Each structure stands twice: as structure tokens, then as C-alpha cells.
Structure 1
Amino acid sequence: MLKISLLPLALALSLCSAGAAAKVQQLPGFAANSKEASIAVDINANGQVAAVIEDEDGKQRAVLYDKGVLELGTLGGSDSYTKGINDDGVVVGSAQDGKGHWRAFLVRKGERMRDLGTLGGGSSYGTAVNASGQAAGFADTADGYFRAFVLDAQGRMVDLGTLGGNISYASGINNSGVVVGTAALPDGYRRAFIHRPGAGMTDLGTLGGRSSAATGVNDAGMVVGASEMPNRRWHAFLHDGSKMVDLGALIGYGNSYATGINAAGHVVGTILIGDERRSFVYRDGKMAVHQAGKGLYLTNAINDEEIVAGATYLSKRYAAATMRSDMVPVVPKGHREFMGMMTMAVGTAVALMLLRRRYRGIALARY
């Protein structure tokens, strides 16, 4: 493992904790090589960040930021990327093995990367980890289909099944072992699901469209993700345990996707308006939208200390960065009426795109 000495990460986090007037903070060291791109994927309560660096040739490296940059290596192949981190600094993600297969991994700082295996096929992808180190993700089965998995007490993969179709993907897990993700129906459309230990998989429905996808869950069982609408647009949602709340309606335009939630139920996500991207934070019943270039260009996670992790986009390059969830957005010209309103208060292919590209680290910026 290669350790690169940097300014303490705590310095960057302290700079963006001065209150609502704080600015987006690029994490130390990310600007060292202008030919590389980087994205902060997840952040824990201690300010440790799971991230991905991509070089100019497209090679991806899983890294942990904790008072410096620690490259986590691979499982014998050339590439790796992270997807989550728990408060003990255990990182989950995917890495190539010597045969070029992607394999889900867990790794603790200072220890070797652990291959989590598969469900009988050649590949697996780790997507989330809880406080006890229990991982979730998806893996190939012997018949070639991806299935959502969770690790049991012995560290073995358990196939979580589907909603009647052939495919499922897990994307989040809470400290009670509740897993969320997306699973195929018999007709091939895909739905957000929640899987509770001993209770099986439940379809969370949609906001009126054909498909939905879940991306995260907190310990209260609140689920976030995105749902197709009747007009085929996509809206971010928050499922409060009984119903799906349309967060996209509070934004009022574009396609929106919720990507993270913290213990307080605060939600972060991304808005796509043609080729333009904005980020949003939903907290305490209010929606704040950050214009491209004035907030994080994309968001991936929010921790319980209200730090949002993601990336900026400067000089045609993604750079890992953080911001406070209560940072005051800069109102775009011509959109003041939208901001007043907001602060008051996929087809199958699209669903697969939302999931698969989200699992590809840097590729999230391209979905």
C-alpha cells in the first residue's frame, strides 16, 4: 500500500464547519495532479473518506483519506474502487483479481484486502457496509444473473432473491442489517426494495411510473432513491416507512436522484437538467439546490455530522470535495422564484444505468 503524506483531512473538514456561510472544500491533495480525477464516495463520523481516483488512462484506484492518502490496492488486477466506509474505517468496494474479474472486497486500514467471493459466478460488487462490518452488494450466480447479497454472521454471501424477475442489486445497509436496492419484477421492470432480516424483500413501489431504484437507508428505516414518474421523468424520493415522498416535486424541474441519507433523515442528491448538473440537500423539511459551480457538482453521501461528500467539476476535471449540509446556496439568476418555493417547504434501461454506473466509482459522474 502506498501512503502519500498530505495536510490532515480534519483541516479540510474544520474549514467547512464554520456554518452556513462556509464554502465547498476540495479535500487536501486532490489537486496535486491535474491529469487525475477524483470523487469522494462516502464519509464516516470521524471524517474518514472512501474515494476513487481515476488517471488519464481511465485506471481507477480505491483510496482512503485519513490525514493522508492511502491506496487500498487491488486483488491482483489493475483497478479498484470504493463504495462505502463505516465508522471503524472498514471500506467496501470492488477490485479486479488476477483474471480481470471484479470482486467485492472489505478492507481495514493497515490490513490486506479481503475478497468476499461470489454467488457461484465470476464477479461480485460491494456497495455498502454497516457498523458491524456486514457488507451488502450484488454478485453473479452460476446462471449468469446478478443477485443482491448480504453477508451472514460467518461472512458468507446470502442471496436475497428478487421480486419475481431474474436480477437484483443491493445498494445500502443499516446497522440492523436492513438492506435496500433494486430488483426485477416478472415483467422485467425494476423496483426499489427493502429487505428486512427474517421478513424477506418488499417492493417499495413508485411515484406513478414503471420503475424505481433505492440507494440508501438509515437506522430508522427511511429509504432514499429515485422513481420514474408518469411522464417518464425521474424524481428523487424519500420513503418514510409508510409512503414514498416526492422530493423531485420540491425541486420542480429536471431529473433528480437521491444518493444518500443520514441518521437525522437529511437527504442529498443530484439534479440533471440536460447537460447541466446541480446538487440538492433536503433537511428539516426544506429543499436547497446548489447551482453547478456554486456547490458540489455531484453528491454521494452525508454523515451524521452534516458533512456532504462528493465532487466539484473544475477545468473539466472531477475533484473530491465536501460541504456542510446547511451551506447557503447561491441563487441562479432567473431562478429566484424557484428558490423561494423550494426552501418553503428507468424504463428498465434507466434503472440499470442509475445502479450500474453508481457502482463504478468515477463513472457515477457520467450516468
Structure 2
Amino acid sequence: MQTQHAFETIRSRSAKPALQGLILFAALGLASNTQAAVRYSITDLGTLGGRLSEAYGINNYGQAVGTSLTASGDFHAFIWENGVMTDLGTLGGGYSHAYAINDTGQVVGASQIAAAGYDWHAFVWENGVLTDLGTLGGRDSVAYGINNAGQVAGWSETANGGIHAFVTANGAMNDLGGSYSEAYGINDAGQVVGGAVLAGGDFRAFLWENGEVTDLGTLGGAYSYANGINNAGQVVGGASIASGDFHAFLWENGEMTDLGTLGGSFSEAYGVNDTAQVVGWSDTASGELRAFLWENGVIADLNSLLDPADAAVWTLTIAYAINDAGQIVGTGLFGDQDRAFLLTPVVVPLPAAFWLMGSALLGLLGLSRGKDAALACG
């Protein structure tokens, strides 16, 4: 957690020794409760031989998934672990993308199949085997989310050409219905989130649970969609506000909270972990695209939380997912190349506690009598 510092100067000209003793005990107490700042170390996940890669998902063991250009110029799904990026292959076509991974190492995404027409099918990858999940009767399907029970959520074309959200049970797709619907996330309780067209034509974020669909509303505008859900049932996504701009949101217990922007007009949230840390992207006041972390009511540009040496060569543009350890994956510019990144929080001890104790001790000994004792409160 990023810690802000307030500095308070305590005048000691008229302080009595007893008061200075109290200052010392207060200083010791503050020092023991001083929190450390958090920065992020960054790992370039590399590529499969091409110049571009993007990371979309991460599990609680730090395994990351996404897509990368290969040396031949095709996009292939990958899994990254301990510095090694592994090509997951395809279902017979030229391209594939991986969007999510659960804690057992199952990966979901979409791949072109061998059939003419470049159809895309949702897949599950496990232990080196890529399994085609099929469709709801149409040509295409995509899997975006998977929980730790192996349930998969996504969307598929139907036999009559419609697009419907689905969730799997025992490997089979269950149609969630609607005139048009897409599912993007699922938690361990089997709650599914996404977006759907309402009777009036507006596109709204929804929460599906045991056959019941809840419209999550908007931030004052007409449109919204949900990208992710954690195990506490907190939902994140994007929604239009009254002015027509689009903002990231966090929905909980019937209330949608506007997460704001990094100074611009637009933002979107993609991932939320079980401690309600939210990641996504926002534009800045000057129109630049930047990855953000939202926590406890504060939205922060992730670039500002990098070590200055890393910030000099990286520009983090989109954060897609965050695990319960606070590790974040996404896409940024590394030099002139789009690269998948992994951020890992690093606790940075604050020196304020030592200054605080030292200055208070000087006050107790009377050495600072008639002088100013500067106490840094962390």
C-alpha cells in the first residue's frame, strides 16, 4: 500500500523534561506502527520470437497467460512461469489467445480451428493438452474466465446467429440466454459477470447467479459492462456517466462506485482481487493511456509506483489482472515494443521512524531544549 507522509514540527522551547519523555514514548509508538511504502519491480515476460506480447491473466501462484507474436508472425497463446514463456499452440489454425488461468493451472482462451473460414473456438488448456469447447451451435466462441472448480465463462454464437453468454458445467456449455450477451468473468461461487442488451436496447453490466440475472446499472449514463468479479462478489468494469464519458467502476451490494480517472475522461477496470485492489486503464489530462491501480478510494498511475530506473524505459498502458499477492499483469511499451509485463510489489522501508525516535530521544536528554525538534510521522 502506498503510504503518504505528513510532517509536523513540534516546538520544544518551553517543553519540560516530563513532556519530552511523553514525546519519546509517542515517537516509539509511532515508529512501531510506521508503514512501509510499496513500489513495484517489473518483469518483461518476453515474446515467442516476435516483437509483441500482451498478458491478460495471472493466478495466485504467479503464472501468467496472454498472447504473443511468434517468429513467423502468428499470434499464439502462452503461459509464463519462472521466466519461461511456453507456446500453447492452436486448435489447428494460425492464431490463439489465452485470457485467464486458475490456481490449478488450467488456461482458457480462443483459437482459430482448422476449418476454412477462420472460425474461432473457446478452449481449455491443461497439462499440455488444448481442448476445444465447441460452440452453442454457431461458428465462433471465446472463453474469458475460469474459476478454481474449472467452470468456464465466455460467449458463443448460436445456431441462429445470435451471441449468447455461456458458463460450462461438466465440460458442456450452458446458454445464459438474452437477445445479446457476453460473459467476461467468473468467481469460485459460480457467479458470472458480463454485458447484455436490455429490452430497450441499452447494453448493461450483469451478474448471473443460479439462473437469476441482476442488472448492475450505470454511473448515470446508459451503458455499462462488467469485466471481472472476485470471490467476495465485488464486480469491476466500465460504465457511462451522465456527461457521456466512460469511467471504471466497482460494484458491491447493489451500489456502483465511480473509480474516477487519472485526469482524463475515460477509464475502465479489468481485474479485482480478493482484497478489493482494482486494476485497469485510464487516459490522463493530456490524453495519454496509462495503467492504474485503485485501492481504498485512491486511483494511482502504476508508472509512478515503479523504480525510477524502470520508469525511464517502461510505459505501462493497460493492467488486465491482479492476484491476491498484489502481482499485476498487463501491457506496456518497453522501448518501442509492446510487451507483456509482470509487476511484483516490493516493500520499501521508510527511514522516518529512525528520525522520529532520534529527535525525540534528543529532546528527552535535554539536548534539544530551546531548539525545534522535527518529527516525521509515517
Question: Under TM normalisation by the shorter chain, which class is it?
Answer: 0.7 to 0.9
1:71-118 per-residue CA deviation (whole Å, 9 max, x = no partner) reads: 1111111110001000111000000111121000001132x2111111
Q: Does 1:238 align with 2:253?
A: no
In the TM superposition, residue 120 of structure 1 has moved relative to its aligned partner by 1.1
**Cross-structure match for 2:327:** 307
In the TM superposition, residue 325 of structure 1 has moved relative to its aligned partner by 5.6
In the TM superposition, residue 21 of structure 1 has moved relative to its aligned partner by 3.3
Distance, in Å, in 2 between the alignment partners of 1:287 and 1:92 is 30
Equivalent pair of 1:20/1:324 in contact (CA under 8 Å): no
The 3 A distance-change label for structure 1 pair 326 and 279 is farther
Paired residues for 1:7-86 under 5 Å: 20-27=38-45, 29-30=46-47, 33=49, 35-55=50-70, 59-67=74-82, 68-86=84-102
Distance, in Å, in 2 between the alignment partners of 1:87 and 1:182 is 25
Equivalent pair of 1:281/1:325 in contact (CA under 8 Å): no
In the TM superposition, residue 264 of structure 1 has moved relative to its aligned partner by 0.8
**Cross-structure match for 1:218:** 230
Q: Does 1:155 align with 2:188?
A: no
TM-score for both structures, normalised by structure 2: 0.75
Paired residues for 1:273-288 under 5 Å: 273=284, 276-288=288-300
1:42-81 per-residue CA deviation (whole Å, 9 max, x = no partner) reads: 1111111112102587621001112322211111111100
SS in 2 for 1:88: coil
Paired residues for 1:107-256 under 5 Å: 107-110=125-128, 112-152=129-169, 154-162=170-178, 166-198=179-211, 200-248=212-260, 251-256=262-267
TM-score for both structures, normalised by structure 1: 0.77
Distance, in Å, in 2 between the alignment partners of 1:234 and 1:241 is 22
Equivalent pair of 2:40/2:345 in contact (CA under 8 Å): no
SS in 1 for 2:94: strand
Which residue identity lines up with residue 93 of structure 1 in the other structure?
G
1:215-246 per-residue CA deviation (whole Å, 9 max, x = no partner) reads: 00011110000001111110000001220000
In the TM superposition, residue 275 of structure 1 has moved relative to its aligned partner by 5.1
SS in 2 for 1:123: strand
Distance, in Å, in 2 between the alignment partners of 1:301 and 1:252 is 22
Gaps of 5+ in 2: 1-35, 305-310, 349-378
Which residue identity lines up with residue 53 of structure 1 in the other structure?
S
Q: Which has the larger radius of gyration?
A: 2
SS in 1 for 2:98: strand
Which residue identity lines up with residue 180 of structure 1 in the other structure?
V
In the TM superposition, residue 286 of structure 1 has moved relative to its aligned partner by 2.5
Greater fraction of residues in strand: 2
* Seq. identity, %: 39
Which residue identity lines up with residue 299 of structure 1 in the other structure?
A
Which residue identity lines up with residue 133 of structure 2 in the other structure?
L
SS in 2 for 1:205: coil
Match of 1:290 among 302, 320, 324: 302
Q: Does 1:259 align with 2:270?
A: yes
Size of the aligned set, in residue pairs, is: 301
Equivalent pair of 1:19/1:324 in contact (CA under 8 Å): no
Indicate the larger mover: 272-281 or 314-323. 272-281
More RCO (CA 8 Å, sep 6+): 2
Equivalent pair of 1:296/1:322 in contact (CA under 8 Å): no
Equivalent pair of 2:39/2:345 in contact (CA under 8 Å): no
Gaps of 5+ in 1: 1-17, 329-367
Match of 1:106 among 92, 109, 124: 124
In the TM superposition, residue 23 of structure 1 has moved relative to its aligned partner by 3.3
